[in-house]
Structure 1
Amino acid sequence: MPVDVYREALRLASDIRDKYLRAVTYAKIGYYMYRAKKPEYKTAFKYAFNAAASIENPVLLVKALVEIGTYLRRADSKTAQKVFHQAYESILTFPEPLKDDLLEELVIRLLELDMPDDALFYATDVEDSVKRNDLFLKILRVYLKKGNMRRARLIIEQIDDEPWHSIAAIEAIKEHLKREEFGSAIRVLSELKSEYWLGEAMKEVAVYLKNSDVPTATYEKFVDIALGMSSDTGFDVLRSLLIGLGNQGELDFVMDILGRVYPDERLSIIEGIVKTSVDKEDVLFDLINHLEGEEFERIAGFIMDQLLSKSAHGKYRRLVKTIGERTMEDSVRVKVATYLAKLGDFEDALKFAQLVRGHYLRSLAFGSIAVAKLKAGDIDGAIDAALEVKDPKWGSWLLSEILTKILELHAEGEVSEDIEERAKHQRILWEKG
């Protein structure tokens, strides 16, 4: 390589007619001269600034300054900072939305150059709230990666809009957890205003605690801090934490803590665990094994409602049969029989339906089995199921309904599952009569 290659590059760059490209090329040459420890690199950057000064298009001038500053950053950071500020001041004179677009480009470039402080300063002037908040999140992640929690906290305080504020808070919470700053994590949690995002944050906490294999004492620390908050906020945090831990299978710990809260609050938390764990048969199965008496009956019915609201799946057979074997409530037995019938498990469905005593509920249980048998093409079985209701009124009603549904199946090729709604309607008619 010739000794004067850099000088030759500068000479050739002067022939570039496009002023923007000439300015950027000089800056690139200056950067490589600096890397080669050539003191003449300052001359190259001087040429770059002179070329930029001749650019008549103000937008191209700003873009040229940003490019020059980018290459200068590696050689002279203080001068580069001044160049970026010059670009920033020029951008402020532009109308919207051009101003915001150029500020966004500047902020992103500064983040690429590891200049988050400057990026944060310039981002505050972005008027479009969506762009501004998106940029704040980008800057926040840089500070969190650096472990600068003080700056991260400052950004969270500047974000008022949702969901950005909550997303930022959760990002900070995750970093606090990694650093085992549990008190700080709880403090950020307590400031979340949205119940949804509080729940999402606590899911992160619960997953972290579970996967990190931390001792029970750490769980206790979160609980103690939550209980020490104001009543409403404290319970919201505690509720979300316990639901998250329950979803992760930490039911021994959760049930122990639930012994310290009021019964209504306890039920609310257990129902929350059911809702978030409805796809986890093992968690639900473990949960009912922690419950007894009236509490078991209520949660068992709630679980069955959740399962019946979705398509029946064989993975829940063990859970449903266990509920059926333990419950003393006819209303729960009806739901168990209905679910098992949907699975095609008619033998067990009939077993639980036969335990139902009240005529109205018995008609619902055998009605659901009859409909399931019809859908399976077993017309004789459907009629036999209907005849299991011996009460003159309800037995006659159910047989009438099933005969009608046989005709419905024949004419339309399908059967509607509306036995419960029709039974309610019939009961109202009889009560009025």
Structure 2
Amino acid sequence: MSDMYREVLRLAGNIEDPYLRAVTYARIGYYMHLAKNPLYGEAFSRALSSVARIENPVLLVKALLEVGTFFGKAGSKTAEKIFHQAYESSLKFPTPLKDELLEELVLRLIDLGKADEALFYATEIGDPVKKSDVLLKLLNVYLNEGKIRKARVILESLDEEPWHSIAAFNLLKEHLRREEFGSAIKVLSELKSEYWLGEAMRAIAFHLKKANVPEGTYEKFVDVALQMAPRISLEALKSLLIGLALQGEIKFVREVLDKLSLELKAPILKSIAISILDRPNLLEKFMESLTGEELEDVLRLVIDSLLERRAKEDYLDVVRVIGEKTRNERTLVKVVRYLSKLHAYNDAWRFASAIKDPYLRSLAFGSIAVEKLKENDIDGAIDASLEVKDPRWGSWLLSEILAKILEAQAGEGVREDIEERAEAQRKLWEGS
């Protein structure tokens, strides 16, 4: 086996290109080190000798980076000197090339677990994008190592967006993970990006719920949000309240909203409703907490959003709540349509019967009739159409349903066009 290593060393000497020869010696030296073969020292020595023969200054730096990496992987202290030589040589080049080589140097040191050395060289990078990229990587390394103070130093040196806000967000998450909520509040003010501020607020809501903190802690973060600039404040508060609503803190969310003006409250209410749309239990609890005009706005938004999706049994109770709470007959028509699609005919019939406006009543019972026809329940469809007592609209609905019965019998299916046809009929009557 020893003869094989010697032969590899001998053959590597036949590589004419000094760059390739240096890198090859460094690579085989590293693998010899892994195999605990004492010839690795000879291979590393030859790598350095080959580097000295490289005339091209750019290739020289690249070779130093490659060779230094293998020395570093082998745990050789010489790696530090090699990287420093690469650094000093890089400074001789014009800015774009210099920054490219320094970035490569920093990334290699990060991969080797030499974060402190990497940070020293990172500060020499002139290009703001490259510098911000590597500093953010270093901040994450320090956070993973639990070195919060060093991460904080990097945050303070990051001026460019979005890197500054991303760094602040990552630092904030670490404070939250440690349940250091006072420190998290301090970092919150560092966030300059609305997007990352929103992400931060949602993360805060999650960790506050997980830590089972007292309500007073929630209030501190609400106060921080309200103290921000007006435009940012509203978005920050909205993100926090959405996050808390998703964690089931509906009561606290309502208490905060009650302190806001209607102008500020309305858009937040709608955003919360949309955010918890996939959580029927939370959605129902949220709607139960509302009253007055704000309730009607949310009910209308929720039923409209649900009708854009395929009807699901999971939302049966939610739609029932909408039907029970709304005082708007147009909203009731939509409730009946959704319940009819679920074949919850008893509930649909009950809500449709509460509608007084003949036009809207015809739409509601028309929805029931159409779904009945889809199930080939002709008697049920006719019974529904007869529930509209208004002479004109009752006759119109019966006419439509009778035509749809024959439409279905002819194999044409049952088209869901009651609303469109009713609107056309209404315009015709109004115009005559």
Fold match by TM threshold 0.5 = yes
Specify the alignment match of 1:372 in structure 2.
371
Q: Quote how far apart the aligned CAs of 1:282 are.
A: 1.0
The residue that corresponds to 1:120 in the other structure is 122
Instruction: Give 3-state SS (helix, strand or coil) of 1:310's partner.
Output: coil
- What are the superposed Cα offsets for residues 72-114 of structure 1, whole Å, 9 maximum, x if unpaired? 4441454133133157458869989xx96x7765443222023
Q: Kindly tell me: are residues 93 and 378 of structure 1, through their superposed partners in 2, closer, same or farther at Cα, counting changes over 3 Å? A: same
Other-structure match for 2:9: 13
One-letter amino acid of the counterpart of residue 283, structure 1: L
**Equivalent residues in 2 for 1:23-422, closer than 5 Å:** 23-24=22-23, 26-27=25-26, 29=29, 45-55=44-54, 61-73=60-72, 74=75, 75-76=77-78, 78-85=80-87, 88-89=90-91, 105-114=104-113, 115=115, 116-118=118-120, 120-121=122-123, 125=127, 137-145=136-144, 146-147=147-148, 148-154=150-156, 156-160=158-162, 167-179=166-178, 180=180, 181-189=183-191, 191-194=192-195, 197-410=196-409, 413-422=412-421
Between 1:421-430 and 1:347-356, the stretch displaced more is 421-430
> What is the CA-CA distance between 1:279 and the residue it aligns to?
0.7
Is this contact kept in 2: 1:65–1:87, CA < 8 A?
A: no
Task: Give me the whole-angstrom Cα distance separating, in 2, the residues matched to 1:379 and 1:57.
Answer: 90
Give the unaligned 5+ runs of structure 2: none
Q: From the superposition, tell whether residues 348 and 322 of structure 1 become closer, same or farther in structure 2 (CA, over 3 Å).
A: same
Moved more, 247-256 or 70-79: 70-79
- Displacement after TM superposition at 1:268 (Å): 1.9
State the identity as a percent: 44
User: Unmatched 5+ residue regions in structure 1?
Assistant: none
Q: Give distance in 1, aligned partners of 2:188 and 2:194.
A: 14
**Aligned mates of 2:131, 2:369 — CA distance in 1:** 60
Question: Which TM-score applies when normalising by structure 1?
Answer: 0.81
Question: Partners of 2:376 and 2:124 in 1: how far apart?
Answer: 70
Q: Are residues 169 and 373 of structure 1, via their aligned partners in 2, closer, same or farther at CA, if it must alter by over 3 Å? A: farther
- For 1:408 and 1:105, the matched residues in 2 are separated by 72
The separation in 2 between residues aligned to 1:405 and 1:105, in whole angstroms, is 72
Cα distance, 1:77–1:50 mapped onto 2, change above 3 Å: closer
Report the alpha carbon displacement of residue 168 of structure 1 after superposing the two structures with TM.
4.5
CA offsets per residue over residues 137-184 of structure 1, 9 Å max, x none? Answer: 534422433323334424652235xxx666545333322423522223
In structure 1, distance between residues paired with 2:318 and 2:49: 78
User: How far is 1:232 from its partner?
Assistant: 2.2
8 Å contact kept, 2:303–2:335: yes
Measured at CA, do residues 150 and 168 of structure 1 come closer, stay the same or move farther in structure 2, by a change above 3 Å?
Answer: closer
Amino acid at match of 1:344: H
Check 1:289–1:193 CA distance in 2 against 1; reply closer, same or farther (3 A cut).
Answer: closer
How far the C-alpha of 1:320 sits from its partner, in A, is 1.6
Name the Cα RMSD after superposition: 3.7
Counterpart-to-counterpart distance in 1, 2:413 and 2:94:
67
Q: In 2 relative to 1, CA 12–380 (structure 1 residues): closer, same or farther, beyond 3 Å?
A: closer
Which deviates the most, 351-360 or 172-181? 172-181
Which of 57-66 and 220-229 deviates more?
A: 57-66
Deviation of 1:206 (Å): 1.4
CA–CA distance in 1 between the matches of 2:96 and 2:106? 16
Whole-Å Cα distance in 1 between the matches of residues 398 and 91 of structure 2? 83
